[in-house]
Amino acid sequence: MNSIMNGLSIFLLLSFAFTIKADLPGVFNVKKYGAKSDGSSDISQALLSAWKEACAATGSTIVFIQKGDYALRQVDLVGPCKGDITFKLEGTLKAPTNPGDLGGDCWVRFRDVDGLKVSGGGTFDGQGEVAWKQNNCAKTANCKALPMNIRFDFVTNAMIQDITSLDSKNFHINVMGCKNITFKHVTITAPEDSANTDGIHMGRCNGVNIIDTNIGTGDDCISIGDGSQQVTISGVTCGPGHGISVGSLGKYKNEEPVVGIFVKSCQITGTSNGVRIKSWPGMYAGTASDIHFEDITMKNVSNPVLIDQTYCPWGQCNEKATSNVKLSEISFKRIKGTSATALAVKLACSRTLPCEKVELGDIDLTYSGNEGPAKSECTNIKPIVSGKLNPPGC
C-alpha cells in the first residue's frame, strides 16, 4: 500500500509541476502577452514580445505556446540571447493562406541564436495549398520564391526535436550558415504533388545531424547544398518525394565544397529518386567529396542509386553541356530493396571531370516490371566494386 501511495504521490507531483510550468520563472507564455488560441487572432506581436524578454533574460529561458490553434504572420526570432533559449510549441501555429500576406521568403525565422532548442510536439502549419497553385517555377527560371515554413540562419549548438512542419508553401525547413544543429523526431508532411516542398534543405553549414525523422513531401526529403560539411543523416523515413539528395550543385558562382556527408540506416519508399548526387551541366565549378550512403532500404523507388551530372529540371539549361562539379570519394554500400524502374543504378558523371574513387558494394535491387531484370548504367566513371552487385556493375 505504501509503495502504491508513494507512486501516486510522485505522479501527482509530476502532474502538478506540468500544469504550472507556464507560470514558472524563466517561462515566457505568449498568452501573458495577449495571445489567443482561437485560431484567428494574430499572435505575432505577442510572440515577438515574449521572445524579446526571454532573449534578454539571463540563464535558461522558455518561450511557451501551449495547446490550441494560433494564427501567426511572419516573425523573425533574433539573437544573440543572454542564455540558452527554448521555443516550446505544444499548439498549432497557422500561417496565412495567401503567400502575399507573409511579405518575405519565410514564415518563421530563427537567426543568430546560440543554444537554441525547439520542441514541444506542436505543429507549424504552412497552409500551402493556395500557394502551390501559384508556383510557376516549371515554366520560368525567374519565378518568385514562395515562403518557407521555418528558417534557421546562423544558429549554433541547437536541438530541434518533436515538432511537425505541415504543408509548407515552399521548403519546409531551411538551414543556412549553422553549426552543430540536430533535428530529431521531426515530422515533415506535404502532398506528393506540392511543388518545391523540400523537407530539410541545408547550405554552408558544419555539423548537421538529422536523426529518426519522418519526411514525406513533393520534392527532396533532404537536400544538401553547397558548403555543407560533416552532415549525418540516420534513421530517416522518406516518401513520398524525390529522395535524399546532395545538390543540386554548380548553379551559382563561388559555391563552397561539400565534404563529409554520411547517410545511413534510412528507408525510402515510393519516391522518384532514392539516394542521389546532382549537378547542373554547363554552369559553375564546384567540388563534392567524402560522401557515403550505407544500409539503405528501397521500396518501389525510381532511380534508387543515382549520380546525375546532367541535372536540368524543366529544360531551363543546356543539357548537352558538361558539368564543372568534381565528384570524388563516394560510396554506395548495402543498398537493397525494389526499384520501380529497370534502371536501378545510374552513374552519369561529367565528361571533362569524370567521377573518381566511387565504390559500389553489396547492392541488391530488384525490378519486377516488363522491361526485364534490373540494370545499371555508367558514364565517365569506373566504379570500384565489392561484394554482391545486383544489378551487375557497369
The neighbour count for residue 99, using CB atoms within 10 Å, is 24
Torsions phi, psi of 310, nearest 5?
A: -120, 30
Residues 270, 240 contacting (CB under 8 angstroms): yes
Report the catalytic residues: 242
CA-closest candidate to residue 275, choices 214, 205, 222, 317: 222
What would the DSSP string read from start to end of 281-332? BTS--EEEEEEEEEEEEEEEESSSEEEETT--GGG-S-TTS-B-EEEEEEEE
Q: How far apart are CA 375 and CA 365, in angstroms?
A: 9
| Residue 55 region by backbone torsions, left for phi larger than 0, else alpha for psi between -120 and 50, else beta | alpha
Look at the block and give the residue holding cell 485560431.
Answer: 39
Look at the block and give the residue holding cell 529544360.
Answer: 315
Q: How far apart are CA 321 and CA 283, in angstroms?
A: 8
CA-closest candidate to residue 157, choices 87, 206, 106: 206
Cis amide linkage into residue 257, ω under 30° from 0: no
